[in-house]
Amino acid sequence: MPELDEKSYICVTCGTQHSPAPTPPASCAICQDSRQFVGLDGQRWTTLSQLFGSHRNRIQQEEPGLYSIVTEPGFAIGERAFLLQTTDGNILWDCLALIDQETIDAIHNLGGIAAIAISHPHYYTTMVEWSLAFENAPIHLHSSDRDWVMRQHKDIHFWSGDLTNPLSDLQLIHTPGHFDGYQVLHWAAGSNGQGVLLSGDQPQVCMDLSWVSFMYSYPNYIPLGREAVKEIVRRLDSVKFDRIYGAFPRRTIPANGRQIVKRSAERYLKSISG
């Protein structure tokens, strides 16, 4: 594992790693934004070495070619990352703050990481550390979220437009809403060729797995506007998918995902219309 820069402080509330500095930043811009929040105990910081002693990552297979990675006990937002295997190499989808040697060894045994893509800034976390640990794997982010990167690095590649292919078997789709540069990952070969959407927070897989929803801010209960929701559905309508993997453990829609997105959007739009 590359030598860790212990001056790259990590926000305890959101997990975002900031650029190296002799002292922790005064605040976390990600948490100061209305889509997130400063923890009830105030702004707190940690480092990777501190996380090593208290947390570990659990990796489990979700379906052939797809593995989820979850930090235990939960840390920061508590999302899951995914390692997706393709004929061009593996991609890490979304990211976790904790990366340790045990995780690196396990992922190397599964084929390593050839590329990284992250849905939106809440899950950028220690993406630079992950890239460095896997031979400077390129990090694919949409250019509209450039200003939310708290630790700039040459391995970060910004793309623009509506679609791009981080690896030949995969497609990143720009679906602005929750963030201007929000992106989802489409895996056409997943779910036995029925197609898989890795959605992060948008559309958000609900606790009732027969529905998804859309929000500008989830913790602060700010709904997403009508036109943004309609545009997200329009962009997703161009791809075939049956299964949806959401941001959090067990939040997976096993089948009929495309239809569920459409009827969920209809319910959502009706609800915000009063």
pLDDT tens-digit profile of 155-202?
Answer: 999 999 999 999 988 999 999 999 999 999 999 999 999 999 999 999
Cβ partners under 8 Å of residue 3, min gap 6: none
pLDDT tens-digit series, residues 16-34: 999 999 999 999 999 999 9
Q: Which two three-digit tokens encode residue 6? A: 């212990």
Give pLDDT, residue 1: 53
Instruction: Say if residues 65 and 88 touch (Cβ distance below 8 Å).
Output: no
Question: Considering the domain boundaries, does residue 144 fall inside one?
Answer: yes
CA 112, distance to chain mean position in Å, is 18
Per the domain annotation, does 221 fall within a domain? yes
Within-domain flag for 135: yes
Q: How confident is the model at residue 7 (pLDDT cuts 50, 70, 90)?
A: confident
Task: Tell me the average pLDDT across 101-114.
Answer: 97
Domain holding 136, by residue range, is 10-272
In a domain, 4, yes or no: no
Tell whether 2 is covered by a domain: no
174 within domain boundaries = yes
Predicted pLDDT at 208: 98
pLDDT of residue 274: 79
* Mean pLDDT, the chain, integer: 96
Q: Is residue 226 part of a domain?
A: yes
Number of domains in the chain: 1
CATH number at residue 56: 3.60.15.10
Do residues 215 and 224 make contact, with C-beta atoms less than 8 angstroms apart?
A: yes
Question: Which tens digit of pLDDT belongs to each residue from 228-247?
Answer: 999 999 999 999 999 999 99
CB 247 within 8 A of CB 200: yes
- Domain assignment of residue 1, yes or no: no
Q: In angstroms, how far is the first alpha carbon of the chain from the final one?
A: 54
| Contact of 204 with 197, CB cutoff 8 Å | no
